Amino acid sequence: MIDFENVSYSYPDGTKAIDDLSLHISKGERVSFIGGNGSGKTTLALLIDGIIKPDSGKIKIGGLDPSGDLEGRIIKQKVGLVFQNPDNQLVSTTVEREIAFSLENRDVIHPELGRRVDNMLRFFGLDEFRTRLISELSGGEKQRLALASVMVAEPDIIIFDEPESFLDESGKRLLNDAIDFLLKEKPDLTVLRITQYAEVAEAYDRMLAFKDGRLFADGNPASIFSDEVNMSSSKVVPPLKYRLKSTARGRYDSESASEPMSPDSEGWAGITADSVCFRYNGDFDGNLFTDFSLSIDNRKVRGLVGRSGSGKTTLIQLMARLLKPRRGAVTYHGFPSKKSPVAVSFQQPERQFFLETVNKEIRFGAENLGLAGVEAIAAKCYELVGLPKDRFAQRNPFTLSGGEKRRLAFGTILSLEPAFIMFDEPTCGLDSEGIALFKNLVIQLKQRGVGIVIVSHYGDIILDLADEVIVLDKGVIASVKSKRDFFRDVDFSSYLSMPELLAYQIDAYGEIRYFSEAELRRNI
C-alpha cells in the first residue's frame, strides 16, 4: 500500500532529511517509527501525505503518486495525519466546527455529519467543550481535539506523529482506545505510529528505526532492541528489561539527578503567590484560581503535575508575571539584581522564536539585557543544549526538527541567565539524547542556584529530577510531597506516566525499593 523506492529529500537549507529510502508497508499493517531527533521520521510522514514532494525516487500510496495534483488530492482523503503539535493543524474557531471541518469539505451531509461529530466529542471527552474557543483549550485538550478531527474522517491510513506529547495519562488511554476502536470498525486500517518512546514502539508488530534519514533496522521490536550493536550506534534507548541485560551498562546508568544538589544558604531566592484569583476573559464557569497561595524557592526542583486543564501552565505564567492575577499578588524575594527574574520554556517552543537564525535567537537574550561576555554566554548555551554551533548557527529555527526546536528554546532562555526557570513539558519531542541533555542541564542549573519548576506528564522526568512534587487539581493544590512519598503514596495514574524503573520493580518485587537505575543494577 505504501511504497518508497530510492527516495531522498532535503530541506531548502540543504539539510538532508531522507537519504535513498526504500520500503514497503502493506495494507492493514501496524508499524511504529522510532529514531533520534532529525532522523527523518516526521519528514517521512509528510512525504506519505503528499505535503512535501521528494527530490528523487518514487512514492506510491495505494498505487497513486502523492506528488501529482489529482492523485495527491485523492490520497489526502485517504491519509489522516495527527501532528505532534496540535496547533499546526487546528484551523477553526470552536471545538465543534474543527471536528466538522473535514467532513464539510467532503460534502458529508446531515444527519450523518452531526452523528459523527457527536460521536467524536463524546469519545474524546470534549462534549462539554463543544462551543469553546480552541484558543482557550489546554495543550492536552487541543491534542485530543486534533485526534478527533482526524479520526472523524475515517481514513484508510492514519499517521500519528508523537500524539502523546501533550497528553496526560487519561488522554493517552483515550488515544489507545480510539486506535483499538478504529481497528475494530475498520480491520484493514493501516496505522503508522511515530514515537520517541521505546515502550510505545514495542507494542507494534513491526518497527522501523531511523538514523540520519536512513532506515537502519526493520523488524520485530524485541529483536531490534536486543541488538546491542544497532542500539549503541543509534539515539534510541531500549526498554529497561533490555538495558538490564546489556553489557554496555555505562551508557544507560544514571543516579537520581536531584538529591546531591544543594545551593549554599547565601544564594536563597523565592517566589510567593498570595491569595491569587485568576480566570480567562472568556471563562464564564468561574475562576481557575481562587485565593490561591504557594511559595517556592531555589532549594529544590519542583515537579508540577496534574490532569490536562488543571491550571499548570497558567500557574507558571502567573508565577513568571506573564499573566496578571485579578486579585492577589505574586512577589519575588532575594533575586540577584544582575539576573533577569523568571523565564518560561513554553510547551510549543516555536512560539518563542522570531529571528531568522539560530545564532541570533541564542544571542538575543544576553544582548538585549546588556550582559557582559555575550560570546561566552552563547558558546555555553550551544554546549548545554547540544546544538553544535558550526552545524546550527545559521539554520532557520523553523526548519529544525521538533526536538531541535526544543533544545533551541532552552538555549534562548539560558542566555537570559534567569534566577528561576519554569519548564512546561520540556521533554516533548526530545529523543533519548535530548532527554539526557535536559537532565544534565537541570543538574547544572540547580548547582548554580537557579530555581526550577518542571511541568510534565512524563513520570520518568519527575522521578529523576524532582525533589518535591506539587499536584494541581482544577486550580487547587491537592498535595505537596517529597518525590519518594509522592510515588509511594499518591495515585497519579490519571495524569502521570508510571516511571519505567518503578513499573519494573512492582512487576518483579511487588514493591518499590530503588529510585535510580544504577541503584537497581547494584542490587540485582
Q: Are 236 and 65 in contact (CB under 8 A)?
A: no
State the pLDDT at residue 468.
Answer: 97
**173-221: per-residue pLDDT in tens?**
888 887 887 788 788 999 999 988 888 899 899 999 998 899 989 999 9
CA distance 6 to 313: 44
State the pLDDT at residue 163.
Answer: 82
Name the band, by pLDDT with cuts 50, 70 and 90, for residue 481.
very high
Q: What mean pLDDT is predicted for residues 381-407?
A: 91
| Fold (CATH) for 300-321+340-522 | Rossmann fold (3.40.50)
Q: What mean pLDDT is predicted for residues 398-425?
A: 91
Full strand arrangement of the beta sheet holding 301-305: 342-345, 420-424, 451-455, 301-305, 468-473, 476-482
State the pLDDT at residue 258.
Answer: 46
C-alpha pair distances (Å), 219 with each of 58, 202, 225, 522: 23, 11, 10, 33
**305-319: per-residue pLDDT in tens?**
999 889 999 999 999
C-alpha pair distances (Å), 382 with each of 195, 350, 363, 390, 436: 26, 17, 10, 10, 15
Q: What mean pLDDT is predicted for residues 263-276?
A: 80
Q: What mean pLDDT is predicted for residues 279-302?
A: 86
State the pLDDT at residue 492.
Answer: 95
Q: All 3 cell numbers of residue 312?
A: 499548570
Q: Are 183 and 27 in contact (CB under 8 A)?
A: no
Same topology, domains 2-248 and 300-321+340-522? Answer is yes
Q: What mean pLDDT is predicted for residues 215-243?
A: 86
Q: What mean pLDDT is predicted for residues 250-277?
A: 65
Neighbours of 364 (CB within 10 A): 18
Asked if pLDDT for residue 455 goes beyond 90, the answer is yes
Name the band, by pLDDT with cuts 50, 70 and 90, for residue 154.
confident
Structural domain boundaries in the chain: 2-248, 300-321+340-522
Q: What percent of the chain has pLDDT over 70?
A: 94
**63-110: per-residue pLDDT in tens?**
999 888 888 888 888 899 988 778 888 999 999 999 999 899 888 888
State the pLDDT at residue 36.
Answer: 84
Name the band, by pLDDT with cuts 50, 70 and 90, for residue 37.
confident
The strand ranges marked E within 400-496 are 420-424, 451-455, 468-473, 476-482
For the chain, what percentages of helix, strand and coil (3-state, to nearest 5) are there? 40, 25, 35
| Fold (CATH) for 2-248 | Rossmann fold (3.40.50)
Burial annotation 230-256 (CB, 10 A radius, 16+ → b, else e): bbeebbbbbbbebbeebeeeeebeeeb
- Reference 207, options 230, 241, 233, 186; nearest CA is 230
Who wins on pLDDT, 466 or 337?
Answer: 466
387 three-state secondary structure? coil
State the pLDDT at residue 257.
Answer: 47
Task: Identify any residues that bridge with 343 across adjacent strands, giving them in sequence order.
Answer: 421
Asked if pLDDT for residue 522 goes beyond 70, the answer is yes
Instruction: Name the region of 173 (left: φ>0; alpha: ψ -120 to 50; beta: rest).
Output: alpha
Asked if pLDDT for residue 280 goes beyond 80, the answer is yes
Q: What is the pTM of this model?
A: 0.81
Who wins on pLDDT, 257 or 123?
Answer: 123
